[in-house]
Amino acid sequence: MPGTAHAVTGRVPAPTTAMATGPGGTGGNDDRSNTAIITRTRTRTKRPSLYRVLLLNDDYTPMEFVVLVVERFFNKSHEDAYQIMMHVHQNGVGECGVFTYEVAETKVTQVMDFARKHQHPLQCVMEKK
């Protein structure tokens, strides 16, 4: 049907006309004008960026409070929380976990609010991994 769009490409095919066959047996008719290339695009979801949640050492926050914070907000066992607290105490900074941006931001806010509520200067930050 002339002027009807092709089902796959949506283009109207060019009209074809019969041409005389020249020497060598090839004609001027180009059959490629009626063919379509079908491409399929696949969308790949990108993995979210991860962020490290870090506790910073200070000279005023009691070690027991740091252990409590790590246990409560990062779901660590008492032994793991103690190890993280000692790492913070000895090295000045310690990683409590790695999370997506929203989760890391929430944990930082929760820790900071909890520390302020209990009048401790504990600092919690996040950095891109």
8 pLDDT above the threshold of 80? no
pLDDT at site 66 = 98
Confidence of residue 128 (pLDDT cuts 50, 70, 90): very high
Closest to 82 (Cα-Cα) out of 71, 97, 93: 71
Confidence of residue 89 (pLDDT cuts 50, 70, 90): very high
pLDDT at site 10 = 58
In the DSSP assignment, the letter for residue 111 is H
| DSSP letter for each residue of 51-92 | EEEEEE--SSS-HHHHHHHHHHHH---HHHHHHHHHHHHHHS
Closest to 67 (Cα-Cα) out of 90, 91, 83, 53: 83
Look over the chain and give the mean of its residue pLDDT values, rounded to a whole number: 86
106 pLDDT above the threshold of 80? yes
Nearest 5°: CA angle at 64, between 105 and 76?
A: 50
70 pLDDT above the threshold of 80? yes
Among 24-28, 49-53, 118-122, the range scoring the smallest mean pLDDT is 24-28
- As given in the structure block, the two tokens for residue 63 are 């070690």
Q: Which residue has the higher pLDDT, 105 or 32?
A: 105
Q: What is the mean pLDDT of the segment spanning 70-98?
A: 98
pLDDT at site 38 = 84
Share of the chain above pLDDT 90, in %: 66
